[in-house]
Amino acid sequence: MTGLPPATAATTSVGDVGERALIARILARLARPSWLVVPAGDDAAVMEAEPRVLEVLTTDALVDGVHFDRRFCPPEAIGHKALAVNLSDLAAMGASPRAALLSLVLPDALLLSDLDRMLDGLLPLAARHGASLIGGNITRAGADGRGPLILDVTAFGTVGRRCVLTRSGARAGDDVYVTGLIGSAGVGLAALQAGLEHAALATDTALDACRDRYLQPDPRVRAGVLLGRNRAATAAMDLSDGLADAARQVAAASRVGITLDADALPLDAAARAWHASRGTDAVTAAMSAGDDYELLFTARPSLQGRLRGVRRLLGDLPITKVGVVTRKQELRLRTPEGDRPFPSGYEHFN
């Protein structure tokens, strides 16, 4: 801890501090669970294996300008989200989070206090879901230190052999469900972007929940674990790139079709109002917007008892039937005006 800079002046940036001092600053904040044999700070972290489980590994990076905009994303939200998107991937496999690694690419001008605030967002989320931060890496953002800020998280979880959820298990006749409400994160992002130019939007409290859903998504870890543990779902995927994308990917991996019912989609009311006031289509927006870290899953109608058990344990979290799995490998959106093709999801580089 001798490497900690003596003062955390709000004007100190990471470029003013040595790499080791930055690492020491982070290490000082980490817990040391009993199963962690060698904590962060050595060449690698070493942990005890869990007997008789499968191990789940995922990695997802947030890049400044691509996944967040620092003009309206506070550092706490960036740190929170960097972990949340990975926990959401574990949830989609039915896995319980266990450990995470944080790989940071830092521009020289990043304020040290903002780095602290990113950890203020990340660490409580980690603690809440039992994901211990056990290692990581820090490097400079390019030769000039002016590349984008990047938080690249790897998450590690465990799941029982018979409880793992994949995208490929959906069968014709299964029902399609989503957890929670959709459309809110997309509207939250739109409101934050519009708020840059129209101050009234930035303070419209009716949109608080939408903004919060975009900034600090709550990964459906418990839902994923319970669906897996109760063997209530045949396939699952998270909605990181939108409902349309998730349905498309589950259908493709399972070699089936999916028909969604537009009227059944659990649209957030504030999001619906936002679109109504603008004359835009809330369903299309909710299906194609990313950042709703809900789960899409499929379930066999004959096993509804298992799903009821999961619902009871989840309490308040809505679980809504939104469609069916079909033998014919087609994607259809059923609306009162007739069937429509799916809107597209989010894809980088396109």
Residue 337 binds a copy of itself (CB under 8 A): no
Q: Which is nearer to a copy of itself, 19 or 120 (CB)?
A: 19
Among 4-12, 13-21, 260-268, 319-327, the segment contacting a copy of itself (CB under 8 A)? 13-21
Pairing outcome for strands 96-106 and 150-159: antiparallel
Reference 214, options 195, 183, 189; nearest CA is 189
Asked if 30 is part of the footprint of a copy of itself (rule: CB under 8 A), the reply reads no
Nearer to a copy of itself, 156 or 342 (CB): 156
Q: Which residues, in sequence order, are bridge partners of residue 246?
A: none
Q: Is 115 in the site for a copy of itself (CB under 8 A)?
A: no
Question: Contact between 27 and a copy of itself (CB under 8 A)?
Answer: no
Which range touches a copy of itself (CB under 8 A), out of 40-48, 71-79, 178-186, 194-202? 40-48
For residues 112 and 5, the answer to whether their CB atoms sit within 8 Å is yes
Residue 335 β-bridge partners:
338
Closest approach, Cβ 234 to a copy of itself, in A, equals 14
Question: Which of 60, 175, 268, 292: binder of a copy of itself (CB under 8 A)?
Answer: 60
For 90-157, the three-class secondary structure string (H helix, E strand, C coil) is HHHCCCEEEEEEEEEEECCCCEHHHHHHHHHHHHHHHHHCCCEEEEEEEEECCCCCCCCCEEEEEEEE
* C-alpha span between 51 and 54 (Å, rounded): 9
As a whole number of angstroms, the distance between CA 37 and CA 210 comes to: 41
Select the span of 46-54, 284-292, 300-308, 317-325 touching a copy of itself (CB under 8 A): 46-54
For a copy of itself, the closer of residues 296 and 307 by Cβ is: 296
- Residue showing tokens 């590994």: 57
Q: Which of 117, 140, 171, 311 binds a copy of itself (CB under 8 A)?
A: 140
Minimum distance from residue 43 beta carbon to a copy of itself (Å)? 4
Q: Which residues, in sequence order, are CB contacts of 63 under 8 Å at separation 6+?
A: 148, 149, 150
Pick 184 or 254: Cβ nearer a copy of itself = 254
Counting contacts by CB under 8 A, is residue 61 touching a copy of itself?
A: yes
Q: Does 143 bind a copy of itself (CB under 8 A)?
A: yes
Closest CA to 20 of 12, 10, 28: 28
- Length of the chain (residues): 350
- Closest to a copy of itself by CB, 240 vs 259, is 240
The one among 253, 273, 313, 314 contacting a copy of itself by CB under 8 A: 253
Close Cβ partners of 290 (under 8 Å, ≥ 6 residues apart): 185, 186, 239, 240, 241, 242, 245, 345, 346
Q: Does 99 bind a copy of itself (CB under 8 A)?
A: yes
Burial class for 197, CB neighbours closer than 10 Å (0-12, 13-18, 19+): exposed
Judged by CB, which is closer to a copy of itself: 161, or 328? Answer: 161
Which span (101-109, 124-132, 262-270, 325-333) binds a copy of itself, by CB under 8 A? 101-109
From 8, 12, 113, 154, residue interacting with a copy of itself (rule: CB under 8 A): 154
Query: What does R_g of the chain's alpha carbons equal in angstroms?
Result: 21
Q: How many CB atoms lie within 10 A of CB 255?
A: 12
Instruction: Map the footprint of a copy of itself across residues 155-194, applying CB under 8 A.
Output: 155-159, 161, 164, 166-168
Residue 39 CB, nearest approach to a copy of itself (Å) = 10
- Distance in Å, CB of 200 to a copy of itself, minimum: 26
Single out the residue of 141, 270, 319, 322 in contact with a copy of itself (rule: CB under 8 A): 141
CB contact set of 187 (below 8 Å; sequence gap of 6+): 207, 210, 268, 270, 271, 274, 275, 285, 289
Least Cβ distance, residue 75 to a copy of itself (angstroms): 18
